[in-house]
Amino acid sequence: DVKVTQSSRYLVKRTGEKVFLECVQDMDHENMFWYRQDPGLGLRLIYFSYDVKMKEKGDIPEGYSVSREKKERFSLILESASTNQTSMYLCASSLGTRGATLKYNEQFFGPGTRLTVL
Amino acid sequence: GENVEQHPSTLSVQEGDSAVIKCTYSDSASNYFPWYKQELGKRPQLIIDIRSNVGEKKDQRIAVTLNKTAKHFSLHITETQPEDSAVYFCAARVRTGGFKTIFGAGTRLFVKA
């Protein structure tokens, strides 16, 4: 059973603080993703990674950075948190291209971190 | 850039009726279209998906249709039940070095008992 965990369910930070959101998956997945979820906007991709030390910008990377030092862990960093980064953050993972079936496309999501920046 | 449009944003149906959610995508190279269901307070989970070489796929009460020419795909839920109430997201996969999935804005489905 795939498990994707996130370090916190709820987080409250102050403007200007550096914030780390951690995501760990235990299924040896190559691909990992960070999304933010806001009402009426769906899931928007911030960054993704398809291998260790590899990262690609998603649709809204501004104000964020990521780190993938180990295959199982993908960290999202807010260098200087701002109030407009208050949101629900979801991490996800999926298999890479080594999967010959459709299953390599399925993304498994973590429980989410609700971040409030005051 | 690539985008996925989803309609309606809210859908309310009577128990037992059908529900249809429609999506359009912009990238003609997209080849994989998943649908995720997110119940209140829970994480999104895949419920059905379809590849671009297939026009329709069915799994019990849910089905997805794809029209590649028009770049439309739809989710159909028949004989709706209260437990179908959730937010549904359509998505399209694009290839940009990695496997990037673009999500629609979501449809909140209410099934009234």
Given this model, what pLDDT does residue A100 score?
43
Q: How does pLDDT run across B49-70, given as a tens digit for each residue? A: 998 888 999 999 999 999 999 9
With an 8 Å Cβ cutoff, are B46 and A58 in contact?
no
> What is the tens place of the pLDDT at every residue in A22-53?
999 998 888 899 999 998 899 999 999 988 98
Spatial contact of B52 and B66, defined as CB atoms under 8 Å apart: yes
Of A14-18, A49-53, A76-80, give the lowest mean pLDDT range.
A49-53
**Weakly modelled stretches of chain B, pLDDT under 70:** 1, 95-99
Looking at every residue in chain A, the average pLDDT score rounds to: 90
Query: Residue A26: helix, strand or coil by DSSP?
Result: coil
Q: Give the pLDDT score at B83.
A: 96
Instruction: Tell me what the mean pLDDT of segment A97-118 comes to.
Output: 77
The reply to whether residue A45 touches residue B51, judged by beta carbons under 8 angstroms, is no
Q: Which of A35, A42, A50 sits opposite B104 (nearest CB)?
A: A42
**Closest to B100 (Cβ–Cβ): which among A58, A90, A111?**
A58
Distance, in Å, from the CA atom of B90 to the CA atom of B44, rounded to the nearest integer, reads 11
Omega before B44 cis (within 30°)?
no
> How far B95 CA lies from chain A's nearest CA (Å)?
12
Q: Is the pLDDT of residue A85 over 90?
A: yes
Q: Would an 8 Å CB–CB cutoff place B80 in contact with chain A?
A: no
Taking Cα atoms as reference points, which of A58, A57, A68 lies closest to residue A24?
A68
Q: What is the predicted pLDDT for the residue at A101?
A: 47
Query: What is the 3-state secondary structure of chain B?
Result: CCCEEEECCEEEEECCCCEEEEEEECCCCCCEEEEEEECCCCCCEEEEEEECCCCEEEECCEEEEEECCCCEEEEEECCCCHHHCEEEEEEEEEEECEEEEEECCCEEEEEEC
B96 touches chain A (CB under 8 A): yes
Residue A29 CA to residue B92 CA, distance in Å, equals 20
Of B34, B89, B96, the CB nearest to A105: B34
Q: Does residue B45 belong to the interface with chain A, where contact is any CB pair within 8 Å? A: yes
Top-confidence range, A12-16, A56-60, B1-5:
A12-16
Instruction: Place A75 in a pLDDT band, splitting at 50, 70 and 90.
Output: very high
CA end-to-end span of chain A: 37
CB < 8 Å from B in window 13-32 of A: 31
Tell me if A109 and B45 make a contact (CB, 8 A cut-off): yes
Taking the CB of residue A27, how many other CB atoms lie within 10 A of it? 13
- The alpha carbon of residue B33 is apart from the nearest alpha carbon of chain A, in Å, by 9
